[in-house]
Structure 1
Amino acid sequence: MTQFVGTHFGKRDSKGRISVPAPFRAELEAAATNQLVFRVSHQHPCIEARSRAVFQQMLDSILRLDHFSEEREALEAGIVADSMMLRIDGEGRLVLPEDMVEEVGLKGEIAFLGKGDRFEVWDAEAARAHVAAAKALVRERRLTIAATPLNTNPKAVP
């Protein structure tokens, strides 16, 4: 599974192309894919990018919901129908759909925020504010991550 980490900055060129950061491309190469599924986030002013495998996990979760249920219909329309699969070219570039670019307000400098199983494309100024607010929240609430035991099989210890 892909692991997108770090924050990287770039710009759209005159043809509207972005260069996917080299560390992110390396993750995709390791996963033997050059395709990503893009969608506008329903939580933040950014565009989310996931590998096909990760997007398939999301789709599988939606498909387990009852047919014709309000929740399933909303998720299919709001997530699946609103997504687009794009291929990275041989030079690591792709063109984001202009409607997505306009919806999230991408201007000059853009930021790529690694979020583990996905990365997000932000206007750089908005990304800096988002990261600063997130760091402040972590400090203020003293948020922690539950540790996973290294040995989950006590019989394996001599």
Structure 2
Amino acid sequence: MDDNETTTKFIVNGREYSLKIDNRYTLLDILRDHLRLTGAKKGCDLGECGACTVLLDGKVVNSCQILAARIKDKDIRTVEGLSQSETLHPLQLAFIENDGGQCGYCTPGFIMAAYPLFESEEELSTEEIKLSLAGNLCRCNAYGSIIDSVAYALEIKTNE
């Protein structure tokens, strides 16, 4: 085994993995190239755009900035794992119903960044939603429909 490779155990979307991976790889590389989960996108590769956003032990992270060595025994959730059934998660449905993106490249990252808001019991203002999503960029400038989509999902949750 190469000095840069280790066998690492971790969980992605509820499924346990044990892979021999190069420690120089990022979580984004592992998700896309090894597990073929393509929801997290490669954008800037600098942690600036949020296209690669996932949850790592419940915290929002840019997967392009997390080295393989840091995922040992971690629980990772991607946009592919949001729904626990055949039905899409309410955030995903809200983005569809509100045209929450134009080209869609940034959409998975925004949905994952919004997930903790959805899980929160707090009522959030539009400004608080904007602040929570500030680490994500949309090249198409569809911020209005993105914010509306998140607000709609939160409203649906509150009315249930």
Query: Same-fold call, TM > 0.5?
Result: no
Larger proportion of strand = 1
Task: Find the structure with the greater CA-based Rg.
Answer: 1
- Calculate the TM-score normalised by the size of structure 1: 0.21
**Bigger relative CO (Cα 8 Å, ≥ 6 apart):** 1
- Calculate the TM-score normalised by the size of structure 2: 0.21
